[in-house]
Amino acid sequence: MIFSLAALTNTQAQQQITLNEAIEMALENSIEMQQARNNLERNDASVRGAYGQFLPNLNGSLSGSRQTGRQFDQANVTFDDFTQNSISGSINTNMPVFTGWQNISNLRESQVNREAGEETFQRLREDTIFQTAQSFLQVILNKELLEIAQDNLETVQKQLEQVDAQVEVGMRPIVDLFNQEAEVANNELSVIQRQRDVNTSKVSLMRLLQLDALNDYEFVVPEIETEGIIPQQFQLSELIDAAMDSRRDLRAAELNIEGSEHALRGARSGYWPTLSLSAGLNTSYGDRYRVFGETVSFSDQFFDQRINRSIGVSLSIPIFDRFQTRTNVINRQIDLKNDRLALVDRKSLVYQEVRQAYEDYITLSQELSSSATALRAAEKAFETQQERYNVGSTTLIELTQANNAFFQASSQRVQTVYQFIFQEKLLDYYLGKITEDVSL
């Protein structure tokens, strides 16, 4: 009684999590998703920095110094040891006028990279949703298989009680009792193994959701219609066209090419001259500064008499930069070639993924019908053998074989149904159409 109350309390303490709640947790807590959000912020900062390259800079400085040594004293017309204190300040600005279109190329590249990063982020969201649904389905499948194994264990235990009673009255040989005890032990082992599978899949899902390993969680089994499943009819060419239009990783690969083209134009800007405007305001103060032998105050020096203003134009013409621009251009050309090859490879991968998912879907559609037929036949065979055994017209071995066949057919049917459901989600994932609202 104490054990039952403890088990009940533990069950009540479990946090129940549905599939959609699990997806929300994964999107919020996944380390990869958090890193992806950080990368989006970095891309935004890169765009702001690219805009800033068009603006003038502004620098201010303030410095002070003390000099001690022999200096010429104009008042006394002699050299003497003096200590001179001075303060200087300046404000300078520089504005690019023409940079060989480098600023424009950098801005466009950063904008395209930000868009590519957003596409990559959205594809990662789809990947997280898919992985969560897959892990959740695996937990559900393992729980269903555990229930089947437990039901089968109850069946063979009842058969053991029946055989034991029949052996006692001499209706069955003692060897039937031993065989049935072995069958019960094997089914107990099967239940233990299925429970292990449930625990393993739950731990894997908890890791994906970043849940506290010290707490216990109950993943709620959604209502899944296992009977009357009607597979959809697809055309492979239409699926491939849909994937080409929807896959965000393809769009990201295309944007990477566009970004590399802008980077190449930015690298070629190194061959062009650059033009910039500059302006400055400088002032200083010295405690030994004199005008007609009179000491000048700090405010008169620093804010009036010693102020210097400057404005200038700078034209820089590249003549020989030790092949730095040429090397940079070659590197950007190689990046562009690699990005184009990456797009070709990604398209090939999409073709392969969609085709394989389509063929697996067709195969599982056929297995649905076969597994249902096999389950009905195995169930009738087991019921028939059970009735025959009860009246003594069949052996325990034949009954055990029928029971094992029914158990295998039940397990196979459940696995086929869940594999088919998973395959539908896999097809949506490869088509780039999976969403947060995953319905089973």
Give the pLDDT band of residue 284 (cuts 50, 70, 90): very high
pLDDT of residue 223: 73
pLDDT tens-place string over residues 211-234: 988 888 999 887 766 666 778 888
Report the range of poorest mean pLDDT among 8-17, 134-143, 269-278, 315-324: 8-17
Q: How far apart are CA 191 and CA 407, in angstroms?
A: 12
Q: Is the pLDDT of residue 316 over 50?
A: yes
Q: Is the pLDDT of residue 72 over 70?
A: no
In sequence order, the 6+-apart residues with CB closer than 8 A to the CB of 150 are 191
Span 310-314, mean pLDDT? 95
Q: How far apart are CA 295 and CA 287, in angstroms?
A: 8
Asked whether 86 and 65 are in contact (CB, 8 A), the reply is yes
Q: Counting every residue, how long is the chain?
A: 440
Q: Is the pLDDT of residue 92 over 60?
A: yes
Q: Is the pLDDT of residue 11 over 70?
A: no
Q: Which residues on adjacent β-strands are paired with residue 315?
A: 275
Rounded to a whole number of angstroms, the distance between the first and last alpha carbons of the chain is 38
Does residue 241 or residue 221 have the better pLDDT? 241
Q: Is the pLDDT of residue 434 over 90?
A: no
User: What's the whole-number average pLDDT of the chain?
Assistant: 88
pLDDT tens-place string over residues 159-218: 888 888 888 888 888 888 898 899 899 999 999 999 999 999 999 999 999 998 888 899
pLDDT of residue 185: 94
What does the block give as tokens for 186? 């094997």
pLDDT of residue 278: 96
Which helix (H) or strand (E) element contains residue 108? Answer: helix 102-168
pLDDT of residue 177: 87
Asked whether 135 and 217 are in contact (CB, 8 A), the reply is no
Q: Is the pLDDT of residue 9 over 70?
A: no
DSSP secondary structure letters along 234-273: --HHHHHHHHHHH-HHHHHHHHHHHHHHHHHHHHHGGGS-
Please count the CA atoms within 13 angstroms of the CA of 85 that sit on its side-chain side: 2
Q: Which domains does the chain have, with CATH numbers?
A: 2-53+99-272+321-431 (1.20.1600.10), 58-98+274-317 (2.20.200)
- Between the alpha carbon of residue 360 and those of residues 241, 364, 366, 422, 424, the distances in Å are 19, 6, 10, 11, 10
Span 326-331, mean pLDDT? 96
Span 74-80, mean pLDDT? 66
Q: Is the pLDDT of residue 6 over 70?
A: no
Span 155-159, mean pLDDT? 89
Q: How far apart are CA 29 and CA 23, in angstroms?
A: 10
pLDDT tens-place string over residues 336-358: 999 999 999 999 999 999 999 99
